[in-house]
Chains A and B, each alone.
Chain A
């Protein structure tokens, strides 16, 4: 199993997810769920086979973490769809997953087998997988924010209350996963580097992102009717998250100063 076969698996999964998205628009919720689940199974199979053939979890490089993101986005979309029946959510998650699949197809960042000793740890897989899942949930919250801010017409107070409540729940779940992912990283850092928190640039940005989502949750509790401010904050927080995730690789202040840039 190698990256050469990625295009076949990815194409198969994307077609199934697209089928699910169309079915959701046509209000065929049974087909929407079945197609999305099958797509997840196809994509998940590729990840599992990569894991086996690499003899390590495929989590080391940006290309490999994008695999997980492409997997988790439709999963989160499916959970939200199953619970709230938004007709558009599966289309959004499919489009987002397609973007990440395309990046992997055209800028694949092919990887070797070697894993430096510091990454050979039982903490490695849970740390990154939990973070990717948090990113997917917060990505869904960001999509909700953009939709509510710029695309939703007729902003009746009654309707937006439920949508804000969904956004809050996505953020709460995303922040919970992010907290656990961050703590797993801290516990791992103690075992690998001798300290749980060293203000490495990646850690600094993880803290920035974490605080920003905490501002959102507290703002929502104190001013539940200030939707616009809260949603704009969510857009800013997601931008900060992007810097933490990959923007840091291009940030002058972080060059050569982070233990999290393995790929170079």
Chain B
């Protein structure tokens, strides 16, 4: 081992080292609290990561440092991807609970941290390693730029954007619940842990609409909120919000989350509309990555790769 060229043995050794490091961190420092990564911490981490990717790419390409060059290669990619499969598989086989949920006693899996895999150090380190290597390989294909590398770049840089901005941005995402009764404008909303937040917009519910299936009166076919959105600068925006049809205002997306019935009040006026307000400032970056991935996937369909070392004599079959 460690005689050049490095292959899969070296790759899996590095991944094993990451898992060991992760386990040590998990049981000394404790699980990762993603809320600690809120702005500006996540932006700093992003800057450090990008600087690291550029440095490794530079050292590999210009200074011919073998390890840095190898890091952006296929063996490392196979090793990292394989380990990501395994660690995600552990997550898929273990029932997951939210990070803030109370400890489950006499459950060894919970004690080990396997019920909160997104905060589990080995998983995060393996995904980080995959993302970092992806960044290095994107740099390598980006500079010098060649048009024939475009499909490769769309797929790899698209995934890189989604991974980086999706995870780092998650701490800045806000999800609030708002309970609105008819003709009682509301500008306060509740966080998941029950804190009240005042918003720069208010909701004035005109009417809560409820439609049932003709053959079953218990399951609603459609429910919607006919409402006005009032902004602090005095604008009034009329819209209808329903499931699958959110509205947008001042960087917030407003969803129909559910409904509730006020005690003692009958008829449709008795319905309280429950709205969810979501703000995700990193979404444009993630969506850019997503659209690049779609474009890359289409390239994958319509462009055949250059022939590799195997003989490809189709007539032989």
* Chains A and B come from one and the same complex: yes
Q: 12 A-B contacts, Cβ less than 8 Å apart?
A: A117-B221, A162-B316, A179-B293, A183-B293, A193-B255, A195-B175, A211-B84, A211-B85, A218-B77, A222-B75, A224-B309, A254-B92
Q: Is the CB of B300 within 8 A of A176?
A: yes
Q: Is the CB of B309 within 8 A of A204?
A: no
Q: Please, which residues of chain B bring their CB within 8 A of the CB of A220?
A: 308
Q: List 10 additional A-B contacts (Cβ < 8 Å) besides A117-B242, A191-B244.
A: A117-B220, A118-B243, A165-B310, A176-B298, A176-B300, A179-B296, A183-B293, A199-B96, A211-B81, A219-B78
List residues of chain A with CB under 8 Å of any chain B CB.
84-86, 113-114, 116-118, 120-121, 156-159, 161-165, 169, 172-173, 175-177, 179-180, 183, 186-187, 191-197, 199, 201, 204-205, 207-208, 211-212, 214-215, 218-222, 224-225, 240, 243, 251-254, 257
Instruction: Using known A-B contacts A117-B244, A251-B93, determine if residue A84 contacts B317 with beta carbons closer than 8 Å.
Output: yes
Among the 9-residue stretches B24-32, B211-219, B225-233, the one with 4 or more Cβ atoms under 8 Å from chain A is B211-219
B272 at the interface (CB under 8 A from A): no
Instruction: Using known A-B contacts A176-B301, A222-B75, A225-B309, determine if residue A196 contacts B286 with beta carbons closer than 8 Å.
Output: yes
- Shortest CB-to-CB span from A209 to chain B, Å, is 9
B290 at the interface (CB under 8 A from A): yes
Interchain CA distance A138-B245 in the complex, whole Å? 34
Instruction: Using known A-B contacts A84-B317, A257-B96, determine if residue A204 contacts B91 with beta carbons closer than 8 Å.
Output: yes
Q: Please, which residues of chain A bring their CB within 8 A of the CB of B237?
A: none
Q: Please, which residues of chain A bring their CB within 8 A of the CB of B313?
A: 158, 161-162
- Shortest CB-to-CB span from B49 to chain A, Å, is 20
Which residue of chain B has its CB nearest to the CB of A193?
Answer: B255
What string of 1s and 0s marks CB contacts (under 8 Å) between B64-82 and chain A? 0000000000110110011
Q: Is the CB of B308 within 8 A of A221?
A: yes
Q: Is the CB of B78 within 8 A of A163?
A: no
Q: Is the CB of A195 within 8 A of B278?
A: yes
Interchain CA distance A239-B311 in the complex, whole Å? 29
Q: Please, which residues of chain A bring their CB within 8 A of the CB of B317?
A: 84-86, 159, 162-163
In this complex, the member of B215, B220, B308 whose beta carbon has the largest number of chain A beta carbons within 10 angstroms is B308
Interchain CA distance A118-B74 in the complex, whole Å? 41
- Shortest CB-to-CB span from A183 to chain B, Å, is 6
Q: Please, which residues of chain A bring their CB within 8 A of the CB of B255?
A: 193-194
Interchain CA distance A78-B286 in the complex, whole Å? 38
Q: Please, which residues of chain A bring their CB within 8 A of the CB of B243?
A: 117-118, 120, 192
Instruction: Using known A-B contacts A117-B242, A157-B311, A162-B317, determine if residue A253 contacts B93 with beta carbons closer than 8 Å.
Output: yes
Q: Please, which residues of chain B bring their CB within 8 A of the CB of A164?
A: 310
Interchain CA distance A175-B298 in the complex, whole Å? 10
What string of 1s and 0s marks CB contacts (under 8 Å) between B121-147 and chain A? 000000000000000000000000000
Q: Please, which residues of chain B bring their CB within 8 A of the CB of A86?
A: 317
In this complex, the member of A86, A179, A220 whose beta carbon has the largest number of chain B beta carbons within 10 angstroms is A179
Q: Please, which residues of chain B bring their CB within 8 A of the CB of A201?
A: 92, 96
Q: Is the CB of A204 within 8 A of B242?
A: no
Q: Please, which residues of chain B bring their CB within 8 A of the CB of A205?
A: 92
Q: Is the CB of A253 within 8 A of B309?
A: no
Q: Is the CB of B216 within 8 A of A114?
A: yes
- Shortest CB-to-CB span from B139 to chain A, Å, is 18
Q: Is the CB of A113 within 8 A of B215?
A: yes
- Shortest CB-to-CB span from A40 to chain B, Å, is 21
Contact partner of B95 (CB less than 8 A), chosen from A121, A162, A257, is: A257
B270 at the interface (CB under 8 A from A): no
Interchain CA distance A215-B276 in the complex, whole Å? 38
- Shortest CB-to-CB span from A216 to chain B, Å, is 9
Q: Please, which residues of chain B bring their CB within 8 A of the CB of A199?
A: 91, 96, 118
B294 at the interface (CB under 8 A from A): yes
3 closest A-B pairs (Cβ-Cβ)? A117-B243, A222-B74, A176-B300
B265 at the interface (CB under 8 A from A): no
Which residue of chain B has its CB nearest to the CB of A175?
Answer: B300
In this complex, the member of A156, A165, A187, A251 whose beta carbon has the largest number of chain B beta carbons within 10 angstroms is A165
Which residue of chain A has its CB nearest to the CB of B166?
Answer: A197
Q: Is the CB of A116 within 8 A of B95?
A: no
What string of 1s and 0s marks CB contacts (under 8 Å) between B260-297 and chain A? 00000000000000001010100000100010011011
B253 at the interface (CB under 8 A from A): yes
Q: Is the CB of A208 within 8 A of B89?
A: yes
Q: Please, which residues of chain A bring their CB within 8 A of the CB of B298?
A: 176, 180
Interchain CA distance A157-B293 in the complex, whole Å? 35
Q: Please, which residues of chain A bring their CB within 8 A of the CB of B316?
A: 156, 158-159, 161-162
Q: Please, which residues of chain B bring their CB within 8 A of the CB of A214?
A: 81
Q: Please, which residues of chain B bring their CB within 8 A of the CB of A177?
A: 297, 301
Interchain CA distance A187-B290 in the complex, whole Å? 9
Instruction: Using known A-B contacts A195-B278, A221-B74, A225-B309, determine if residue A253 contacts B244 with beta carbons closer than 8 Å.
Output: no
Interchain CA distance A173-B297 in the complex, whole Å? 9
Contact partner of A116 (CB less than 8 A), chosen from B219, B294, B301, B308, is: B219
B238 at the interface (CB under 8 A from A): no
- Shortest CB-to-CB span from A223 to chain B, Å, is 9
